[in-house]
Amino acid sequence: MPNIATTSRRRDDVLALPIRLDRAIRNQSQQVHSALRAGIVDGLLAPGLRLPSTRGLAEQLGVRRNAIVAAYEALLSDGLVEARHGAGTYVAAALPAPETAAPVAELDIRIPPRRPFALGFTLVDPALLKRLAAASRRRIAQAAPDELGYGDPRGSLHLRNEVAHYLAANRGVRCDPSCILIVSGTQHGLRLCIDALLAPGDAVWFEDPGYVASRHTLSTTVAKLVPVPVDGEGIVVTAGEKADARARAAYVTPSHQFPTGVPMSMARRIALLDWARSAGAYVFEDDYDSEYRFAGPPLTALAGIGGERVIYLGTFGKTLFAGLRLGYLVVPPELVARVVAARAAQDRFPPVFMQEALADLMADGVIAAHMRRMRPRYRQARDVVAEALVKHAKGSLQLSAPAQGLHLLATLPPGAPKGAARLIRERAGIECRLLSDARIVQRGPDGFILGYSGFAAKDLADAARRLGRAAQDVLRDSRPPRG
């Protein structure tokens, strides 16, 4: 708690003011100015009140007289006091009446704790953090004058070049760096697309079940969501056409569908692109979890086979860590100006130094090496969870180990009672999203979306054991008695 001095006495010509000095403020004149300003604004010092002389108030508060002089001058500049020649200093007569502050409502902001099965966490690599910190310090220390001013709304050209190289080599997306925008994450990029390309009331196909954060981004804007079911080949295009063939866009996660984990088949990709071309619609491709594929070569992104209607959204949040807040958009050339204009109207341009530092590490092969190190560790984490669930759930949960990504889906068997998943999660004491949370239309059995990245193997095994046993217990207790 700050060291506070308060006035408590009155001398012959000194009014004891109901103010307090915050000794946490180092500068004495700022202490006095802050205390007097608060007293005037809050109505403790009434309009027209004569303030003590500078000498008297300095003695009263135990500060230097020149601190009082400077504080009074600052209050004069603020218009909060008036100086009357030969009569002293007075609180300004014309001030707005102080308002009674309304109580601040408690915001329901939930930040997931770092516990097994929570989504969005990655393993911390101290060596990588040191390299990133060193690169960032170097970039700041060696910054040219033009790097300290306003920048390109698209972001660092150095990083956009590196992203273009990465996408061409790993995702089959060939694009010019001029068509790439650096953003603060997938949801930021999606919002830019909405602002630039959609009009109020436009319909957007959305995978059902689908990525909850993107559903929230779309549903809180002017877009109208059209839930489109997902099966073993990805989004069911014919169902989307039946629901709303004139939709203006579709949001999909084709490489690793969230949350089912299925990759979109080539037949579905072609059907989706054919619909987009005929309808004049856009496809927002969220390349969710594409960085970590455990078997076979990386899948070609949708933007790699039909780029003229596809806006590609990628992020470094899964490659490195979510707190980095760096992602990217790849936009067809004819749409770049519209998306850049939307960007310039929001935050003008992204901070440059971390972008440059990240680009340095990409150019040096540091990021690629990091991904090679993490891939087997995440695969091991996936296997630990899958094996423990099979062992302890004993058929109470159905799961498949995905070939890529950072989460798996465990579903309850058909016929499980309503509310069983929430009860199981509560009994197991785990942190995870339910499959029902990701659905717009509730159909089929509920289940658990289990993030396995960013956690120690023993903690994952323990959480899976508790989940499996809780599933057994709840389903057993819900069965009707025999006879």
Model confidence at 83, in pLDDT bands (50, 70, 90)? confident
The predicted-structure confidence for 280-322, as pLDDT tens digits, reads as follows 999 999 987 777 888 777 778 999 987 789 999 999 988 898 8
Q: What is the mean pLDDT of residues 340-356?
A: 90
Pick the CATH number of 152-351 from 1.10.10.10, 3.40.640.10, 3.10.20.30, 3.40.50.720: 3.40.640.10
Q: What is the mean pLDDT of residues 203-230?
A: 92
Residue environment code for 56-77, b if the CB has 16+ CB neighbours within 10 A, otherwise e:
bbbebbebeeebbebbbebbee
pTM comes to 0.82
Tokens of 120: 């969005």
For the chain, counts of helices (H) and of strands (E): 14, 16
The predicted-structure confidence for 120-145, as pLDDT tens digits, reads as follows 899 989 999 999 999 999 999 998 88
Report the CATH architecture of 4-91.
Orthogonal Bundle (1.10)
Strands 203-208 and 224-231 come out as: parallel
**Region of poorest pLDDT, from 40-49, 319-328, 473-482:** 473-482
The predicted-structure confidence for 234-243, as pLDDT tens digits, reads as follows 999 999 999 9
As annotated, the residues of the chain forming the CATH 1.10.10.10 domain(s) are: 4-91
Report the half-sphere exposure of 50 (CA within 13 A, side-chain side): 11
The predicted-structure confidence for 386-400, as pLDDT tens digits, reads as follows 999 999 999 899 997
Report the CATH architecture of 374-478.
Alpha-Beta Complex (3.90)
